[in-house]
Chains A and B, each alone.
Chain A
Amino acid sequence: MAKYLLLKHYCGAPAAVNDVPMDQWAPEEVSAHIQYMNDFASRLEETGEFVDSRALAPGGTFVRYDGEGRPPVTDGPFAETKDVIAGWMIIDVDSYDRALELAAELSAAPGAGGKPIHEWLELRPLLDESSGTTE
């Protein structure tokens, strides 16, 4: 009974084994990939392990406060070395091992040539708001 965040990276993570950009896949390969993701999420809902999941648009911007009365500073749309996150899913599972198992399953999503992408997923425990009851 612990929640974990699964982060899918576009870049910033180590390269996947089957590392072909999505825009170079066949359309049916893209469909198969999306189907896999959706099936994965509904299966987790059935097992009672699903919490939330969202895809993110790739174009992120870093923003910073620049002093009273001044507009926020941004790094512009074309920063080169940014870590880009494609989406996330939060799961609620009984053990760390189960979280690893599910992350591995998600990493096996089909990519180019219908073969698993073997992409690296980041698995992060969520910090609880509550401290439990024991001292």
Chain B
Amino acid sequence: MDEALLRTLTPKVLGILCRRGADFAAAEDAVQDALVEALRVWPSAPPRDPRAWLVTAAWRKFLDATRAETSRRRREDLADAEPEPGPASTVDDTLRLYFLCAHPSLTPSSAVALTLRAVGGLTTRQIAQAYLVPEATMAQRISRAKRTVSGARFDQPGDVATVLRVLYLVFNEGYSGEVDLSAEAIRLTRQLAAVIDHPEVAGLLALMLLHHARRVARTAPDGSLVPLAEQDRGRWDTRLIGEGIGILQAALARDRLGEFQAQAAIAALHADAPTAEETDWPQIVEWYDELTGLTGSPVVRLNRAVAVGEAEGAAAGLVALAELDPSLPRHTAVAAYLHERNGDLAKAAELYAEAARQAPNLPERDHLVKQAARLNSR
């Protein structure tokens, strides 16, 4: 039983049903029913053409459900609309599905859940587990999302930027259940890159690959954070780094810069440095300047202050930092680091402790507490 194959086929089958005129929510239910049947039937009777099998099964489920709910006339209209068997343009269908699942009328968490279920083919239980919420909660979240987009026209061209944001949200969730959401986000972004030619899709894919390549080195065996400068670069996945850089270079060559390409360029400069000392900080600062121009994001300017601190010295970094709102997330942690580099260790210890109190997650909090303790126990 090839579960990965089923997950790859899910969005294609769903797309075909929707193009044949099925309402999204009903089509999604029908595809889920067909998947359940496939899991039951395939082990003893593997189909010759899994995709055709699923399309047929899902379409039958859809018709059954429709028959139960609507008039005979409606059913016949739909049956008439069924196209002749033959090659179908699944490329466009899959793309539309991405757009629909990231519809702007959905909240970010609903868009994420719907994308993982409808495009990713994950079960509700797997998604619930990955996000540490009860299955009933996730089921409701998904069915609300389906109702929300049910009214949306399936042929409406969507917004690539929204799709990319949703995929990046999935990627950043990492993993907590049986599903590695970062790997899943990469799979979905690869699939998206295969059906749409867009430099920012390539930029996001490159960014994910470059981050993912360094993931195992980011945490020690006990789960604690390892800062970039202290990571064992021998554990970075050079194959993924090479792939990410290749994709990024092809995207940059098209001269349509976007925020994901710029972020990937920064990640590439880190990944390319043989040692932390050899990092090309001046060029990283330049990319942060580009990124600031593209997004105007205060978080980007905060990261830029760190890069300036490395490129031109901690004092320059503190000057860059002084222009920013102190209530920004991680502002205190950055201030602590720059003060330490600048030789003001007492101030740095105080700021590390304060940053630990503001930290958004356990590994970061523990890391910052240890930094404060390290300076206080000198």
Contacts and interface: CB of A to CB of B under 8 A. Distances in A.
Contacts of B228: 135
Given A92-B109, A92-B133, A129-B176, A48 B140 contact: yes
Nearest to B145: A48
Interface residues of B, number: 40
A131 to B, nearest CB: 4
Contact of B134 (A50, A125, A133): A50
Contact of B359 (A51, A127, A129): A127
A47 B144 contact: yes
B32 interface: no
Nearest to A48: B141
A129 B107 contact: no
Contacts of B211: 133-135
B159 interface: no
Interface stretch (B37-45, B63-71, B91-99, B165-173): B165-173
A111 B172 CA distance: 43
Contact of B225 (A52, A127, A129, A131): A131
Contact of B365 (A52, A127, A134): A127
Contacts of B137: 45, 48-51, 92
B225 to A, nearest CB: 6
Contacts of B169: 1
A129 B215 contact: no
Contacts of A51: 132-134, 137
B109 A130 contact: no
A1 B225 contact: no
Contact of A1 (B109, B134, B140, B171): B109
Given A125-B360, A130-B175, 17 more contacts: A1-B109, A1-B169, A45-B134, A46-B144, A48-B113, A48-B144, A51-B134, A51-B137, A52-B134, A92-B133, A127-B365, A129-B361, A129-B363, A131-B361, A132-B173, A133-B211, A134-B172
The 10 closest A-B pairs by CB, nearest first: A48-B141, A128-B361, A131-B363, A130-B174, A1-B109, A132-B172, A127-B362, A94-B107, A48-B140, A50-B137
